[in-house]
Structure 1
Amino acid sequence: MDDIIKFLENPKFVQWVNKPSKKLDRYWNDYIENHESEKEQITLARTYILSLQSEPLLTTKETSKQIYFAIERKIEKLEIRNKRKSFILTFSKFAAIGLIFFVLGIGVTQYIKSPHLDVFEHFGKNDNNYPYSTLTLSDGKNVRIPDKESEIVYNNQGQIVINKRDTVQSGEAILENDLNQLFVPYGKSASIKLPDGTVAHLNAGSSLIYPSKFEGSTRVVSLLGEGYFDVVHNPDMPFIVQTKEISVEVLGTKFDVAAYPGDNIVETVLVEGKVKMIKHGFQFSSKEYILSPNQRAAFDINSKETTISEVDVNNYISWQKGFLLFETQDLNRIFRKVERYYNINIRYADPNLGLLRISGKLELREDKESVLNVLAKTASVEIVKLNETEYAIK
């Protein structure tokens, strides 16, 4: 059963079944060819998704017994060899349970808040060592921003003003979904005032994909890296930040989302208001987590577990004010932030040094040598400069 569930929880698999494309067909056909032993599980997973997709919506007045037999009858009609029949009957019970949860409004049978995969493909094209922040508009225009810190504002005339001096006309969209991207490489930072007035601060090594105009029932942006959001209140149009693993939904609030590639933890920290965090995927037991101010939700990518804790939010959001605060935090985490901010690499002579915990404050706007000297003294270690971008800790 676990082998089937892994496909049901795979967004790419669910999209392939529901909305196949040439690219997805090619991917999954190659997968099946190279994983012949999983062909039966894939067939059964497809059967489950398609059976629910075509099943008429049942009302809450129908009993779970009726729901079970409705799905059981549907599955028994399939032309499956007799030796699989006992397995199918067991599987149909899971299908019945899944549909019951759907009827109750939990929605485990839908593709939950999943980001469009083609949107996230944009992220892989960015080079974090690129010397400029880049604003890519929906008409394909690329605007390079050389400043270390950038401020981008959409004004009331529909123009884009960069660092209060350069004005860019957004141009006519050529993409169906009219998306723009702000990319901030290592060594840079940026803030952007979106068309609805929401302000997003992007940390080094981050990307934000957003529409030129928010339309419909939600305001959706996609994030890779770290962003601090000050969302304009609009009860009729919730603001949603999508990462590859989770979505964070709000009406109007201040919060931080960190979802860097390579990090095992995706975290959301709430400063003001209230947010709802939802894990992506097609699952039997998806949970929504409601955060209150001064709480942190940490989603572990490996274990798929989420933990909620009370925190000092200043330790998580101070970066957007130009400094880092940390309290009994390990060097690994601190140096990752420093590496991104200054676009440098730091090696450990002994990996155990990265487990040392320190507390303090770093003024990031100082030169990197001064910051590294402060860290070395605080942690009682030696930091040796190898070249302009490489350092070693001893």
Structure 2
Amino acid sequence: MEQFQRYFEDRKFVRWVLRPDQDLNDYWQNYLADHPEEQEPVSLARKLILSLRTKNEADHGQEAMDLLTEILREVDRRKRRTYFLMLGFSALKYVAVGVIFFILGFSFYSSKESAELDTLYQMLSETRSNINDTQLLLSDGSHVIVREKQSSIEYQNDGKIIINKQDTLGAIPKGNELNQLMVPYGKHTSIKLPDGTVAYLNAGSRLVYPTVFTGENREVFLIGEGFFEVAHQEGIRFLVNTSDVEVLALGTKFNISAYPSDQVIETVLVEGKVNVKKNGFHFMNNEFLLKPNQKVSYHKEQSEAIITTVNVINYVSWHDGFLNFTASDLSRVIKKLERYYAVQIILDNPKLGLKTITGKLKLVEEPEIALGVLATTASAELTKINETTYALK
């Protein structure tokens, strides 16, 4: 995967794919002859870049989404051994998702060959940038860094953007061009989208959305976890796409957890109604209409979905600053806290992760306080190894 990532940054490679000539053909043919092990990453990189040219064809959205899923699934095959290894894979996932800017069904792409190269290089540079802070990448090229642990972003009716209720960005040109909001581990943010919908993004999440919604659908793409309060617009649907499922809402509140490293995608409905269905990848054969207090869990490996009745507070309370859990496996709670605080929590005995706990945990500023409460609830002992690593035994 490292080689695959490298080709996107190679100007000679991109020029060869987009504007081949005899010299470039000779160079890369010789290169592949000398490095046969590079055939697979070169082939996949070429497919992604060439998808730029087919963007305006009838089935471009389907092809693009298939390509994105292929990348994400390849990354997910790599099992994490440590938290820091996971961070390395997360950075690569961010690179993959950045390709969405070129291949989703929006009018972001410019057909001029020089613009193709410039835009591609710029996007790849941005997606590989520091992910320690929340980042807002706008369609006009602006790159806004938000350093606060908890932040808010709001689009106003005049197109201006308010950061943390005080900093104002000038209005950017309206159109279908895409923007993306990246939230690293240890941070979380809320964003009021141009249509008035509010999305709360949990740690380690990314949202891709247009500068303005047009047409019969309001469509966004989510990786990670988000709680949505959808602004009702008569006859205009709101769609949230993930790597495996599509959630259709009509003025409602719901939560989606769709981290690439998790084997289950969960959609929980708080109020209103949503329809959860297969997306372009055809993994689900049915549609599921959820009622309030219901959850649909899509299991990636089995390609099946299950509906259950749940206490929704256990799934949506994170955006209000606390975790609520009922008979939850300690390992699941730990995973949420690792993402929220950007720490690693080591279990001295793996069987401890199977222990079920019930309670309410306030997500205070200092992780050591919250983890101490968790340890007490689980009748375990917490040890701090360093600033980012803790152990439970």
TM-score, length of structure 1 as denominator length: 0.68
Equivalence for 1:149: 150
**Cα shift readout 1:256-295 (whole Å, capped 9, x = no counterpart):** 0000121000000000011000122454972111100000
* 1:122 and 2:93 aligned: no
**Number of equivalences:** 293
Contact kept, 8 Å, 1:161 with 1:168, in 2: the verdict is yes
- What amino acid does structure 1 have at the position aligned with 2:334? F
The residue type paired with residue 275 of structure 2 is K
Distance 1:267 1:113 in 2: 25
Which runs of structure 1 show a deviation greater than 6 angstroms over 4 or more consecutive aligned residues? 109-114
Find the aligned partners of 1:145 and 1:391 in 2 and give their Cα distance: 27
- Tell me the equivalent position of 2:75: none
Q: Partners in 1 of 2:138 and 2:130 — Cα distance?
A: 21
2: CA distance between counterparts of 1:347 and 1:200?
Answer: 31
Please tell me whether the aligned partners of residues 295 and 309 of structure 1 are also in contact (alpha carbons under 8 angstroms).
yes
Change (3 A) 1:114 1:268: farther
Q: Does 1:249 align with 2:248?
A: yes
The amino acid across from 1:122 in the alignment is: V
Superposition pairs for residues 245-324 of structure 1, below 5 Å? 245-281=244-280, 283=282, 286-324=285-323
Query: Retained in 2: the 8 A contact 1:115–1:243?
Result: no
- Say whether the 8 Å CA contact 1:113–1:280 is kept in structure 2: no
Instruction: Give the alignment of 1:1-394 within 5 angstroms.
Output: 115=65, 117=67, 121-122=96-97, 130-172=131-173, 177-281=176-280, 283=282, 286-394=285-393
Distance in 1 (alpha carbons) for counterparts of 2:256 and 2:193? 17
Q: Does structure 1 conserve the Cα–Cα contact (< 8 Å) formed by 2:334 and 2:345?
A: yes
Partner of 1:157, secondary structure, is: coil
String of CA shifts for 1:134-185, please: whole Å, max 9, x gaps. 1000122110011111111111111000111101124347xx9500011111
Deviation at 1:390, TM superposition (A): 0.7
Separation in 1, partners of 2:264, 2:215: 31
Percent identity of paired positions between Structure 1 and Structure 2: 47
What secondary structure does 2:276 align onto?
strand
Q: After superposition, what is the alpha-carbon deviation per residue over 1:3-29, rounded to whole angstroms, capped at 9, x for unaligned?
A: xxxxxxxxxxxxxxxxxxx69xx9xxx
Partner Cα distance (1:139, 1:328) in 2: 47
Q: Secondary structure at the match of 2:386?
A: coil
**Compared CA separation, residues 160 and 110, structure 1 to 2 (3 A):** closer
Find the residue that maps to 1:139 and give its secondary structure. coil
Query: Does the aligned pair in 2 maintain the 1:339–1:346 contact within 8 Å?
Result: yes
Q: Does the aligned pair in 2 maintain the 1:219–1:239 contact within 8 Å? A: yes
In the TM superposition, residue 131 of structure 1 has moved relative to its aligned partner by 2.7
Query: Match of 2:261, SS?
Result: coil
Deviation at 1:117, TM superposition (A): 4.9
SS of alignment partner, residue 369 of structure 1: helix
| Whole-Å separation in 2 of the counterparts to 1:322 and 1:184 | 16
Contact 2:330/2:357 (<8 A) preserved: yes
CA distance in 2, matches of 1:151, 1:297: 29
Contact 1:248 1:276 in 2 (8 A): yes
- Runs (5+) with no aligned partner, structure 2: 1-16, 19-27, 29-35, 41-57, 70-93, 100-123
Opposite residue 223 of structure 2, the aligned amino acid is L
Check 1:111–1:144 CA distance in 2 against 1; reply closer, same or farther (3 A cut).
Answer: closer
Q: Quote the RMSD (CA, aligned, Å).
A: 3.1
Q: Distance in 2 between matches of 1:114 and 1:297?
A: 26
Tell me the secondary structure at the aligned position of residue 364 of structure 2: coil
Contact 2:159 2:172 in 1 (8 A): no
In structure 2, C-alpha distance between the alignment counterparts of 1:284 and 1:346, rounded to whole Å: 33
Instruction: Output the CA distance in 2 between the equivalents of 1:113 and 1:316.
Output: 33
Larger radius of gyration: 1
TM-score norm. by structure 2 comes to: 0.68
By relative contact order (CA 8 Å, sep 6+), the higher-ranking structure is 1
CA separation of 1:292/1:110 partners in 2, compared to 1, >3 Å: closer, same or farther?
A: farther
Deviation, structure 1 residue 122:
2.9
Residue in structure 2 matched with residue 97 of structure 1 by the alignment: none
Query: 1:88 corresponds to which residue?
Result: none
Alignment match, 2:85: none
